[in-house]
Amino acid sequence: MAEKVFARRVSGLVRELSIVDAALYGVLATGTFITIIYLWPFSNAVLPGTSLWLIGVFGFLLLGIPISIVYAGLGSSMPRSGGDYVYQSRILHPSIGFSIPFGFFSITWVITAVLGGFAISYYALQPLLYHLAYLYNNESWIKIANNISTPSATFAITLAILIIAFFNSVAGMRWYRRVQNYILVPCILITHIVLLALFISTSPEGFKQMFNFWGEKMLNDPDFYNTVLTAAESAGYVTTKLDLYKTFAAFTLPGTWLGYIVFSAMGILGEVKGARSFKRLASAFLFAAFYSSILFTFLVTFLFERVVGWDFLHAFAYAYYGGLVEYPVIPSVLSVGMMLTKNPVLMVLLTLGTMASTYYMSICCFLNATRIWLAMSLDRTLPEWFAKVSPKFRAPINANIFHLIIAIIWAFIYNFVPSLYWTVYSGANFTWIAGIIPTAIAAIIFPWKLKEIFASSPIAKYKVLGIPLITLVGIWLFATTTAMAVVIICEPALGVAAMTPRLVILMLFLVPFIWYWCFRAYQKSKGIDIDVAFKEIPPE
């Protein structure tokens, strides 16, 4: 049956990654420094009363724990490339399994891939060059910093990153593993350690002094700290108290990234050794969740808030986004860390994490998206062209080429069509978390919908009061992700509560839904009944 139903009997991929690799893959997938730069001052400006460190707690308790268990349970039961596509198409319905993951992952991965030039330009190179330029009075570095943030420059950087990521992906998992473990992870850890050391060693008074030092250097204002406070207060700012709703609303932004601790189970699990072990997978994902949400997001922002002060971080956000004060560097937790030192070596080290995170965001898009398309092609819901795998490198060649072309197109739109920037980004933000909801539903009904597969799965033995653990945790994940999706699409501050972004979201899911039924009819006209494929787990 497998020979007649699937495009071929084997996927052509090889299990090159270990469980530890999968855990590190999950840590990197949360965006780390890419995620944290969007927390402040944006969150405190549009959602005043947001507690940054509480977002880290939410990330672990509300999302990290349930998503780890659900994806470890489904992944160990069906350890194949394709992730959500496999879970949703086998447990819910093929049309859902095709349309939701295709729309969800296509824009998610592509948008993530094109963030590269923007993040490196504005949050790594530009702050570094500005600080070094003003520290050493070097005018040429200021010119470079100004030029590096132009659309042409960011597009060029993005294009370079995409091409490098393309070749890294085509070379297969063995080469990616080396890049991850020997370059990306060390860079993340170095920047993390340096940032923590600077925040721990700086007092609130020390921050004020350094803030004024750089204010004088960059703006000729030796009392820039009080200038910010005065500007905010004169415009009507008053001290803001903790607001749990606004904190949860702000959490939905990085929360969509923090959930990607299970990124390997969303696409590349067919290339992870030991993926059939629920305990090992769950441990890997929970480790990634604890590191990303608690050791990283919580600890960094808690220390950041201690140093900067609750009132000042809100006042600065209010003044900066209100156009009341100017600053040559786009403010972020990282730029504040750079502000706490005059040591050029530490400044350089503080940029490594952002650049490593940026590169990972691009390479993981290639790795995951191409595996999803490969799985769809093996099921014959996409043309067999996508299923071509290099026998030498064990990587989907054609799918990588397709993804590169689409990513370049999106990169152009992202950099040169400002009117679509927020629409695309906010639309992607909703699909990131909404796409997980069907998988949560699949987890809830898994024990009854696929009885034989569940009975032989490693998670089947875990029950609470006679109810399967995956069902209970699936309900937990469904409640969290649904609440996040509702807030994202209804909260005006988050950008999706408008007609254009909602139409973008609708089309993301409607177009692949129509494709599925049309391509299914086409396959039937050729005598191929693709419905039979969804009664089995895809080839390994």
Answer yes or no: is 55 within a domain: yes
Answer yes or no: is 514 within a domain: yes
Tell me which DSSP letter residue 240 carries.
P
Answer yes or no: is 163 within a domain: yes
Q: Cβ distance 317 to 332 under 8 Å?
A: no
Tokens 């460190």, residue located: 53
Answer yes or no: is 540 within a domain: no
Tell me the pLDDT band of 396, cut-offs 50, 70 and 90: very high
CA distance 496 to 491: 7
442: tokens are 């699949």
CA distance 277 to 226: 57
What is the domain count for the chain? 1
- The C-alpha R_g of the chain, in whole angstroms, comes to 23
Q: Single out the residue of 273, 227, 243, 283 nearest to residue 491, CA to CA.
A: 243
CA distance 92 to 489: 24
First-to-last C-alpha distance (Å) of the chain = 15
Q: Is 205 exposed, middle or buried (0-12, 13-18, 19+ CB in 10 A)?
A: exposed
Tell me the pLDDT band of 434, cut-offs 50, 70 and 90: confident
CA distance to 59, 218, 277, 454, 474, per residue, from 462 (Å): 24, 59, 13, 11, 13
* Helices 94-120/499-525 angle, 10° precision: 130
Burial 129-163 (b: 16+ CB within 10 A, else e): bbbbbbbeeeeebbebbeebeebebbbbbbbebbe
- The partner residues of 396 in beta bridges, in order of sequence, read 389
CATH number at residue 442: 1.20.1740.10
Residue 428: per-residue pLDDT: 66
State what percent of residues in the chain have pLDDT above 90.
Answer: 63
pTM above 0.85, yes or no: yes
pLDDT at 423 over 70: no
Give residue-wise pLDDT tens across range 64-78: 999 999 999 999 999
Answer yes or no: is 45 within a domain: yes
Q: Cβ distance 457 to 77 under 8 Å?
A: yes
Residue 3: per-residue pLDDT: 46
Tell me the pLDDT band of 426, cut-offs 50, 70 and 90: low
CA distance 468 to 322: 51
Segment 376-405 mean pLDDT? 90
> Out of 202-216, 417-431, 521-535, which region has the weakest mean confidence (pLDDT)?
417-431
CA distance 467 to 506: 35
Answer yes or no: is 387 within a domain: yes
Q: Cβ distance 34 to 361 under 8 Å?
A: yes
Segment 499-520 mean pLDDT? 85
Give residue-wise pLDDT tens across range 150-169: 889 989 999 999 999 999 99
Tokens 């929970």, residue located: 286
Answer yes or no: is 129 within a domain: yes
Answer yes or no: is 355 within a domain: yes
CA 42 to chain centre: 17
Q: Cβ distance 322 to 81 under 8 Å?
A: no
Segment 248-262 mean pLDDT? 84
**Domain of 264, in residue numbers:** 2-535
Mean pLDDT of the chain: 90
